[in-house]
A and B are shown apart, each in its own frame.
Chain A
Amino acid sequence: MPQITETARMGSTRELELYFGPQHLGMVGNFSITMKVEGDRILEATANPGYLHRGFEKLMEYRTWIQNFPMVCRMNVIEPDSMEMIYAMAVEKLAGLEVPERAHYVRSIFLELARVGSHLFGLWAYSNMLGFDTTAQWAMYHRDLVLDLFEELTGGRVYHIYLWPGGVRRDFPEGFKDKIVNTLHSIGGCVPDYDATFFNNRLFYDRAKGIGIVNPEQAKKFGATGQTLRATGMKYDIRKVEPYAAYDKVEWDVPTREKGDAYSRIWVIRDEMIESVHMIFKLLDAMPEGEVYNRVPNPFKWNIPKGEVYVRCESSRGELGLYMVSNGGDKPYRAHFRTPSYPHGLIVLEEALKGASIADVGNIMISLYVVAPEIDR
């Protein structure tokens, strides 16, 4: 006679604690969520960051201004160029450096290529999570074509060390403009295929519609920016709000959607990719000739006057900001990065997971576009 245990007699109205831990097939990045579930519904979720904490900002205080420059890009592994940009902007503002006109255009093209690459990586992660393996393989392959362009320009596939205070390190080599155009044509020519297999697919609609809804008041209350905010209808994009580099020299529009669920966020990502590609073509046409670099004073003995700045730019995930304080010395006194995944991964995620089913955790997490190293720094 089998023993009837106490828990079996209580029925299924009990709470369990589950760990969606770092070693999990549905987790992209080293991040962990602790969930209190009842049956299949999540009652409460707590995010556990800290697996990638290096004490970046403390390490930056031990290195000079120019020594920090190769370190900063390693904060966001998927799109390191926006980190380089924000550091260069902050140092230029503190030191009063001017950037030549051509460098602004080169920077914008570079950042838009990085945005395309980062969105393709996000598309790989998301479609792999949902089970659309074909789209995932295509997205990764097209991202590799973009990384080939980066390798020719800067020498490295992932970490570029290219944008630095005063401009960019070197100009485009011979024939590079045609290479960019050919690569983007070959990626853009596949957009109908992507639409047919993934974006217009009825299965994607069923899996993502109504999942992880964030309405406009909640988004503003939690400090959300980027796709999470634009999918609720607000056209808030730092490239339009506080233009930097050459973004105010070309005509472009900010794509938005209405509903605020995972479906809208992924469609906003797709529209942004297409908008970036058009922007690169326009920038390539409008680019002036000239220098790309203004010499900084001896970078090994560079003292920056006292002051503090807060600069911001639009990374592929949202509003990226840097609050930097200088004490007149040759090292930063305090650098604090405001990364876009911080509110998304710690506050919006916990709110969006309430009442969701366990099967949708990966779906919600990746559609909120959380990058774990950005949270921990």
Chain B
Amino acid sequence: MKWLKSPGKMAHKYSLHVVYFCTGCGIIEIPPVITARWDAERFGVVPVATPRQANLFLITGYVSVKTLKAVIRTYEQMPEPKYTVGFGSCPINGGMYWDSYNTIKHLDKYIPVDGWIAGCMPRPEAVFIAVTHLWTLIDKDMANGYIRYRKNYAAYRKNQETLFGELGWPPLYQESATSAPEAPSGHLPRSGDVRIKK
């Protein structure tokens, strides 16, 4: 019996908790997915309040430069194992806003992505196909975005710093090229942009 062999994988697959973060346009198709008609809860997908309780990050739609900072911080706060799915055509290669000065074009240069859902907007059934595909990847140990993040953290961090200049939070993983990856440093990221009326 498959699930007896790896109950850990079964627990990861059948209870994907999504971080509630409305990143872009795609948020318009998420309420239909999580409410009664298309009911994502029968797949185990449930939205939760904080990234500390989540293991699936659904990036719905285009990502602007300001949002990318929040996305990276949210991604780094999620505990492992964690999976990322890009929803819509815009995170894949810029989509309709390919010539905009304020949106990023390729999301997987900054955070690792396990799968993409194409479409503008994708239908709710596409979300469920993506979830079942993600189950297959988890079974075959191919949904390893978080492992790639740990391994190539220096490259990801360098890309993030090229885009933003000075990042306001310390690196998540300490530098150690050959030894086994260590646990995250445990710093809470500081918040950046503050606009207060003086």
A and B touch in the complex (CB under 8 A): yes
B22 lies within 8 A of A27 (CB): yes
Contacts of B96 in A (CB 8 A): 71, 74
A286 interface hit (Cβ, 8 Å): no
B195 lies within 8 A of A22 (CB): no
B70 lies within 8 A of A55 (CB): no
B99 lies within 8 A of A59 (CB): yes
Complex CA gap A104/B159 in Å reads 52
A55 lies within 8 A of B196 (CB): no
A329 interface hit (Cβ, 8 Å): no
Nearest CB on A from B81, distance (A)? 20
A78 lies within 8 A of B100 (CB): no
Question: Of A17, A27, A36, A51, which contacts B66 at CB under 8 A?
Answer: A51
B100 lies within 8 A of A46 (CB): no
Complex CA gap A187/B147 in Å reads 49
Nearest CB on A from B89, distance (A)? 12
B112-130 interface code vs A (CB 8 A; 1 in, 0 out): 0000000011010000000
Complex CA gap A144/B34 in Å reads 12
B195 lies within 8 A of A44 (CB): no
Complex CA gap A25/B121 in Å reads 23
Contacts of A46 in B (CB 8 A): 195-197
Contacts of B164 in A (CB 8 A): none
Nearest CB on B from A23, distance (A)? 4
Give the residues from 1 to 60 in chain A that come closer than 8 angstroms, CB to CB, to chain B: 17, 19, 21-25, 27-30, 34, 36, 44, 46, 48, 50-55, 58-59
Contacts of B123 in A (CB 8 A): 157
Question: Of A55, A78, A143, which contacts B102 at CB under 8 A?
Answer: A55
B21 lies within 8 A of A22 (CB): yes
B196 lies within 8 A of A59 (CB): no
A66 interface hit (Cβ, 8 Å): no
Total number of B residues with any Cβ neighbor in A under 8 Å: 40
Contacts of A350 in B (CB 8 A): 197
B37 interface hit (Cβ, 8 Å): yes
Of A21, A23, A25, chain B has the most CB atoms within 10 Å of the CB of: A23
A140, closest chain B residue (CB): B35
Give the residues from 190 to 248 in chain A that come closer than 8 angstroms, CB to CB, to chain B: none
A78 lies within 8 A of B28 (CB): yes
Complex CA gap A141/B102 in Å reads 35
B26, closest chain A residue (CB): A77
Nearest CB on B from A27, distance (A)? 7
A373 interface hit (Cβ, 8 Å): yes
B188 interface hit (Cβ, 8 Å): no
Give the residues from 64 to 122 in chain B that come closer than 8 angstroms, CB to CB, to chain A: 64, 66-67, 70, 74, 96-97, 99-103, 120-121
Contacts of B144 in A (CB 8 A): none
A105 interface hit (Cβ, 8 Å): no
A55 lies within 8 A of B121 (CB): no
Give the residues from 56 to 101 in chain A that come closer than 8 angstroms, CB to CB, to chain B: 58-59, 62, 71, 74, 77-78
Contacts of B97 in A (CB 8 A): 54, 59
B36, closest chain A residue (CB): A137
A124, closest chain B residue (CB): B31
Known A-B contacts A55-B100, A55-B102, A59-B97; the reply to A21 vs B70 at CB < 8 A is yes
B49 interface hit (Cβ, 8 Å): yes
B16-30 interface code vs A (CB 8 A; 1 in, 0 out): 000111111101110
B193 interface hit (Cβ, 8 Å): yes
Of A44, A74, A78, chain B has the most CB atoms within 10 Å of the CB of: A74
A136 interface hit (Cβ, 8 Å): yes
Known A-B contacts A23-B20, A157-B123; the reply to A54 vs B103 at CB < 8 A is yes
Complex CA gap A12/B99 in Å reads 50
B162 interface hit (Cβ, 8 Å): no
Complex CA gap A30/B64 in Å reads 11
A159 interface hit (Cβ, 8 Å): yes
Question: Of B37, B99, B102, which contacts A62 at CB under 8 A?
Answer: B99
Contacts of A342 in B (CB 8 A): none
B121 lies within 8 A of A158 (CB): yes
B49 lies within 8 A of A48 (CB): no
Contacts of A53 in B (CB 8 A): 64, 66, 102
Complex CA gap A121/B32 in Å reads 10
Contacts of A21 in B (CB 8 A): 70, 191
B197, closest chain A residue (CB): A46
B177 interface hit (Cβ, 8 Å): no
Given contacts A29-B22, A44-B197, A53-B66, 16 further A-B contacts (CB under 8 A): A23-B20, A34-B194, A34-B196, A46-B197, A51-B64, A52-B67, A55-B100, A58-B101, A59-B97, A62-B99, A74-B25, A124-B35, A144-B38, A157-B29, A157-B121, A158-B29
* Residues of chain A having any CB pair with chain B under 8 Å: 17, 19, 21-25, 27-30, 34, 36, 44, 46, 48, 50-55, 58-59, 62, 71, 74, 77-78, 121, 124, 136-138, 140-141, 143-144, 147, 156-159, 350, 373
* Nearest 7 interchain pairs by C-beta: A140-B35, A25-B49, A23-B21, A137-B36, A77-B28, A51-B67, A158-B121
Instruction: Name 25 A/B residue pairs within 8 A (Cβ), A-sorted.
Output: A17-B196, A19-B191, A22-B22, A22-B70, A23-B19, A23-B74, A30-B23, A30-B24, A30-B67, A36-B196, A46-B195, A46-B196, A50-B64, A52-B24, A52-B67, A53-B66, A53-B102, A54-B97, A74-B96, A137-B35, A138-B36, A140-B32, A158-B29, A158-B121, A159-B121
